[in-house]
């Protein structure tokens, strides 16, 4: 890499991390580096040639260690993640669903409670039956266009769409491409999505090896999908390169010179070392026996993706790869693989309550409460809807404030005075989407809007919430956390110093409560009395959280602290209204999702 190119990439990296304080020795050097063109920063022009060169070259990037790329929604390495680095136990072959099995899987998705599932099915698609509306919202969020209906299925349940994305070419939909077998994405909250026509490997095996896939790169037809058993590898901290020249957008996977890889065994893409001054020299070596895929595939498709410094932990699974062939002016003879899905061992089983809490439509919620409201009173649940008008004007200082009605129902929606104080006073943008609510005798209590993680679920680790990066998001962001709730138990606290924070918020200086990633007891007996050790990787919550939300709260007969209780908890981001408060935001437990 030339000194000019290196200077330019370093300058872009430093400017992207504007809050990093550079050493004095670098301030003048960085200031003198000319800025890259702003158009589509990070998407390079003509990277098909560069990608080929990268396959045999080693990219070296000298960086300051303290400016590693921030991933606000990615989790810090955990013991569980490290233990699972070898990947989950999976079937050795792709499971090809029959029409009957596919019907069962679709019914399970429509019933709710399952995360989106990628499957391969022995069915075809009839383009002669296209049901309105022809444009629909996909899950994960996006736009899908209706192309037909599964052969032998009713129109509403068997409608098939293709996703429309910037810089991603859609799957081929010629008649031959819509014959069985096909790869599909199922989702209870969105339409069925076509991932592509599936091609079996030599000998009729539905599972390809990485070596077979690599060998087929130069001959596979455009749009062909294969199920590959391999290890997905990703790296972070490397720039795609200079901004592209004006012209047609370059499609993935060719839109970046830096790639993720599917390999036959675990590898480390990035190696390097640092020194006592905080500098390091890092190099990325693309594996010669690996299949290059789009940048970002690891974060989107690897099970439990975790980055340790520059490398993602290797993750084994059966990944769905689609061949992309493009011959645009700025991408001549582009040919490569795009990861479009992942096949789990049991496509008709639920992932878990944490990864996929049940989300009901407003109509479904109205039917549920109309038939059995009494058993739901006091319980938290998620509803995809809109509160009309959704504003909090002239609310009392204490008590509840009516903010509107759940659209399409007769359910009155209220908020506590503290919640209402964080809602906008004008036309509200925060009360539409997937909402967390508590069922009351006379309506619903609004808790907050659900926040998505990078895997497009609502699930977060406690260590993620402890990071200050998430605290830049708007208040009332609500997330799902699977963990242990514990507090400081019987430890006595000194009298608080005014001004006091709002009651039942995480801003109290004592006592304390936490949601932890594992079962720990923070209270111990010492020679001078009781001592409290804040749990590692935990997120602090309001003092009363344990007593209010822990299942079966209890004090052990032989210990000083309360018994830690596992659960699936709802946490939301809240504000401290006191002037000069530090921290200004924190996490408050607002509910527990029952199985």
Q: What's the CATH code of the domain at 372?
A: 2.40.50
Rounded mean pLDDT, 61-73: 27
Based on the domain organization, do 327 and 369 belong to the same domain? no
Q: What is the reported pLDDT for 177?
A: 94
pLDDT digits (tens, 9 = 90+) for 259-276: 999 999 999 998 876 544
Rounded mean pLDDT, 7-35: 39
Q: Identify the DSSP state of 122.
A: S
Angle subtended by helix axes 3-16 and 24-31, to nearest 10 = 110
Q: Bigger pLDDT: 123 or 141?
A: 123
Based on the domain organization, do 275 and 183 belong to the same domain? no
Write down the pTM of the prediction: 0.50
The secondary structure element, H or E, covering residue 337 is: strand 331-343
Answer whether 151's CB lies under 8 Å from 123's CB: yes
Number of domains into which the chain is organized: 4
Segments forming the whole domain that contains residue 470: 459-592
Domain boundary among 396, 421, 450: 450
Three-state secondary structure call for residue 196: strand
Answer whether 411's CB lies under 8 Å from 369's CB: yes
User: Cis (ω within 30 of 0) for the bond into 133?
Assistant: yes
Q: Report whether pLDDT(121) > 60.
A: yes
Percent residues over pLDDT 70 in the chain: 75
pLDDT digits (tens, 9 = 90+) for 524-545: 777 776 777 888 788 999 989 9
Based on the domain organization, do 513 and 533 belong to the same domain? yes
Based on the domain organization, do 188 and 210 belong to the same domain? no
Based on the domain organization, do 559 and 482 belong to the same domain? yes
Based on the domain organization, do 470 and 585 belong to the same domain? yes
Q: Is residue 302 part of a domain?
A: yes
pLDDT digits (tens, 9 = 90+) for 245-257: 666 778 899 888 8
Q: What is the reported pLDDT for 282?
A: 76
Q: Report whether pLDDT(94) > 80.
A: no
Rounded mean pLDDT, 375-391: 89
Q: Is residue 351 part of a domain?
A: no
Q: Bigger pLDDT: 276 or 365?
A: 365
Q: Bigger pLDDT: 9 or 224?
A: 224
- Return mean pLDDT, the chain: 76
Q: What is the reported pLDDT for 273?
A: 63
Based on the domain organization, do 299 and 263 belong to the same domain? yes
Rounded mean pLDDT, 288-315: 89
Percent residues over pLDDT 90 in the chain: 33
Rounded mean pLDDT, 570-581: 87
221 confidence band (pLDDT: 50, 70, 90): very high
Q: Is residue 26 part of a domain?
A: yes
Based on the domain organization, do 192 and 212 belong to the same domain? no
Based on the domain organization, do 263 and 172 belong to the same domain? no
Q: Is residue 125 part of a domain?
A: yes
Based on the domain organization, do 494 and 365 belong to the same domain? no
Q: Report whether pLDDT(92) > 60.
A: no
**H-type alpha helices, 33-120:** 47-54, 79-83, 99-111
Q: Is residue 80 part of a domain?
A: no
**Lowest-confidence pick of 221-225, 230-234, 505-509:** 505-509
**Which of 459, 467, 458 is closest to 434 using CA atoms?**
458
Based on the domain organization, do 22 and 52 belong to the same domain? yes
Rounded mean pLDDT, 34-46: 25
Q: Is residue 78 part of a domain?
A: no
């Amino acid at each position: 890499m030339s000194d000019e190119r290196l200077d330019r990439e370093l300058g872009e990296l430093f400017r992207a991390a504007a809050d990093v304080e550079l050493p004095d020795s670098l301030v003048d050097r960085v200031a003198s580096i000319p800025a890259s063109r702003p158009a589509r920063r990070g998407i390079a022009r003509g990277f098909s040639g560069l990608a080929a060169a990268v396959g045999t070259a080693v990219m070296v990037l000298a960086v300051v260690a303290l400016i590693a790329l921030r991933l606000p929604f990615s989790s810090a390495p955990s013991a569980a993640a490290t233990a699972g680095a070898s990947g989950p136990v999976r079937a050795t072959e792709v499971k090809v669903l029959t029409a009957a099995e596919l019907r069962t899987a679709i019914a399970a998705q429509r019933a709710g409670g399952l995360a989106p599932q990628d499957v391969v099915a022995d069915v075809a698609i009839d383009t002669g039956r296209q049901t309105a509306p022809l444009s629909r919202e996909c899950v994960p969020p996006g736009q899908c266009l209706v192309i037909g209906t599964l052969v032998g299925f009713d129109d509403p349940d068997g409608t098939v769409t293709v996703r429309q994305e910037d810089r991603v070419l859609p799957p081929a939909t010629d008649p031959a491409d819509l014959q069985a077998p096909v790869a599909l994405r199922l989702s209870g909250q969105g339409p069925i999505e076509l991932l592509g026509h599936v091609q079996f490997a030599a000998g009729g095996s539905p599972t390809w090896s990485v070596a077979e896939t690599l060998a087929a790169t130069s001959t596979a037809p455009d749009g062909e999908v294969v199920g590959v058993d391999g290890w997905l590898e990703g790296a972070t901290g490397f720039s795609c390169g200079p901004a592209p020249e004006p012209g047609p957008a370059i499609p993935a996977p060719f839109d970046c010179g830096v790639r993720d890889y599917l390999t036959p065994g675990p590898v480390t893409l990035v190696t390097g070392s640092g020194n006592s001054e905080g500098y390091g020299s890092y190099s990325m070596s693309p594996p010669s026996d690996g299949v290059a895929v789009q940048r970002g595939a690891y974060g989107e498709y690897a099970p439990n993706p975790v980055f340790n410094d520059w490398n993602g932990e290797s993750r084994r699974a059966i990944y769905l790869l689609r061949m992309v062939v493009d011959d645009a002016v700025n991408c001549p003879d582009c040919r490569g693989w795009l990861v479009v899905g992942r096949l789990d061992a049991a496509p008709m089983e639920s992932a878990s309550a944490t990864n996929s809490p049940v989300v009901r439509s407003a109509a479904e919620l109205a039917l549920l409460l109309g038939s059995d409201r009494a058993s739901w009173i006091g319980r938290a649940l998620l509803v995809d809807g809109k509160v009309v008008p959704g504003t909090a004007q002239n609310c009392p200082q204490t008590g509840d404030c009516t903010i509107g009605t759940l659209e399409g129902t007769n359910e009155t929606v209220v908020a506590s005075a503290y919640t209402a104080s964080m809602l906008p006073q004008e036309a509200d943008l925060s009360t539409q989407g997937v909402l967390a609510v508590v069922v009351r005798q006379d309506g619903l209590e609004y808790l907050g809007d659900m926040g998505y993680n990078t895997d497009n679920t609502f699930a977060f680790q406690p260590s993620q919430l402890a990071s200050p990066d998430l605290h830049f998001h708007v208040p009332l962001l609500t997330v799902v956390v699977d963990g242990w709730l514990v507090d400081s138990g019987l430890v006595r606290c000194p009298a608080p110093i005014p001004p006091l924070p709002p009651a039942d918020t995480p801003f109290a200086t004592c006592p304390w409560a936490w949601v932890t990633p594992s079962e720990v007891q923070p209270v111990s007996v010492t020679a001078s009395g009781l001592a409290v050790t804040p749990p590692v990787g935990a997120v602090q919550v309001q003092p009363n959280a344990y007593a209010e939300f822990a299942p079966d709260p209890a004090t052990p007969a032989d210990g000083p602290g309360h018994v830690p209780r596992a659960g699936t908890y709802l946490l939301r981001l809240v504000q401290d209204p006191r002037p000069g408060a530090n921290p200004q935001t924190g996490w408050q437990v607002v509910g527990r999702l029952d199985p």
